[in-house]
Amino acid sequence: MSNSNRSSGLFISFEGIDGAGKSTHISGLADAFKAAGRSVTLTREPGGTPLAEKLRAMVLNDAMDSLTESLLIFAARRDHLAQVIRPALLRGEVVLCDRFTDATFAYQGGGRGFDLHVLKTLEAWVQSTEGQALLQPDLTVWFDLDPLKAAERLAGARVPDKFEAQPVEFFRRVAQGYADRQQAEPNRFARIDAAQSRETVWQDVVTVFKTRAWL
Ligand code: TYD
């Protein structure tokens, strides 16, 4: 997959089912990149712009069918790419994005059982600009965790949103959705065993970046 529509920027996404524990590692990486002298854009999906954050609130809280949900998520993504991600990559920054399109394939495709061909079409529309290749992350760090363990971690942690309130079977399908995406594009994914201690997970995350000489 070519990413010719950028200069020396680096686009990293972070994925995993709810409760997999990616957040602390994302902020740790932001600090590590800054310490290495890189400019960092730390952002998330759905969200990352004022419009996309409004769409996020609807997607996370309001009941809707799967097509509506997918359209709102991709609409948010389109705005986020245009306003934040592409400009940051063109400035040569490191973009650390908490979730991206793999989450749509995992949650809407896997979890909800929504049509993957429609998602593929939306992906192509939203992540392409005229005359340029489809923009994908350079690397996707996937925090893989058994859905039962994730449910234990989430239990009582906070008031669950629409997705966090789903039963464990939903998250099994989401996890399978991630595994399918990894299988389709193994070189883009770095799988982290998120069942390990936080310290060991962090060591594994750092190793992923050091191996690529990005840190
Ligand atoms: P999350 O990233 O876990 O943020 P927080 O830690 O603040 O809860 O929450 C985003 C939720 O949105 C998560 O449950 C997954 C869901 N989601 C989708 O269903 N599809 C998508 O394409 C994306 C990006 C997120």
Average pLDDT, the chain: 95
Predicted confidence at residue 4, as pLDDT, reads: 46
Does the global pTM surpass 0.85? yes
CA distance 29 to 23: 10
Ligand 1 pocket list (CB less than 6 A): 18, 23, 45-46, 60, 73, 98-99, 103-104, 107-108, 163-164
Q: Give the distance (Å) from ligand 1 centre to CA of residue 54.
A: 14
Q: Give the distance (Å) from ligand 1 centre to CA of residue 117.
A: 21
Task: Count other Cβ atoms within 10 Å, centred on residue 212.
Answer: 12
Q: Is the peptide bond before 46 cis (omega within 30 degrees of 0)?
A: yes
- Asked whether 181 and 134 are in contact (CB, 8 A), the reply is no
Q: What is the mean pLDDT of residues 99-121?
A: 98
Element (H, E) at 125: helix 116-126
Residue % of the chain over a pLDDT of 70: 97
More confident residue, 30 or 156: 30
CATH number of the domain where residue 148 is located: 3.40.50.300
CA 183 to chain CA centroid, Å, is 16
Interval 171-209: pLDDT, tens: 999 999 999 999 999 999 999 999 999 999 999 999 999
Q: Give the distance (Å) from ligand 1 centre to CA of residue 87.
A: 23
The domain in which residue 111 lies consists of 3-211
Q: How far apart are the first and last CA of the chain?
A: 23
Predicted confidence at residue 187, as pLDDT, reads: 97
- The total domain count for the chain is 1
Closest CA to 110 of 193, 187, 16, 189: 16
Query: Which of 68, 107, 116, 166 has the most ligand 1 atoms within 8 A of CB, as the residue to mutate?
Result: 107
Predicted confidence at residue 2, as pLDDT, reads: 44
Query: Which of 18, 72, 104 has the most ligand 1 atoms within 8 A of CB, as the residue to mutate?
Result: 18
User: What's the pLDDT band for 6 if we cut at 50, 70, 90?
Assistant: low
SS (H, E, C) 17-62: CCCCCCHHHHHHHHHHHHHCCCCEEEEECCCCCHHHHHHHHHHHHC
